[in-house]
């Protein structure tokens, strides 16, 4: 994955476990419909975050999707 995830509180994401903890804290719930994807849904919203099951396949496109759906909590910086 190119670049670095930086949260407003300084936490850097290096795994899906870390990302899941952060998204859960923001009100996202894990969605288990498709085992080939790592997905999250926000109650009261139509938004769905879909990520590849393999963290190694996580790319800037996925990162952008998360940032757009959580504008107040994430920002992307070029490291």
pTM, to two decimals: 0.76
Look up the CATH number of the domain holding residue 53: 3.30.920
- β-sheet bridge partners, residue 28: 42
Predicted confidence at residue 11, as pLDDT, reads 47
pLDDT digits (tens, 9 = 90+) for 6-16: 555 544 577 89
Number of domains in the chain: 1
Q: Which domain holds residue 59?
A: 4-77
Structural contact between residues 53 and 36, judged by C-beta atoms closer than 8 angstroms? yes
pLDDT digits (tens, 9 = 90+) for 22-61: 899 999 999 998 989 999 999 899 999 999 998 888 887 8
């Amino acid at each position: 994955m190119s670049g670095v995830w930086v949260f407003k509180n300084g936490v850097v994401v290096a795994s899906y476990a870390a990302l899941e903890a952060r998204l859960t804290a923001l009100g996202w719930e894990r969605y288990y419909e498709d085992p080939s994807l790592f997905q999250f849904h926000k109650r009261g919203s139509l938004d769905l975050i879909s990520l590849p099951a393999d963290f190694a396949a996580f790319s800037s496109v996925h990162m952008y999707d998360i940032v757009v759906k959580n504008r107040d909590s994430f920002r992307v910086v070029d490291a």
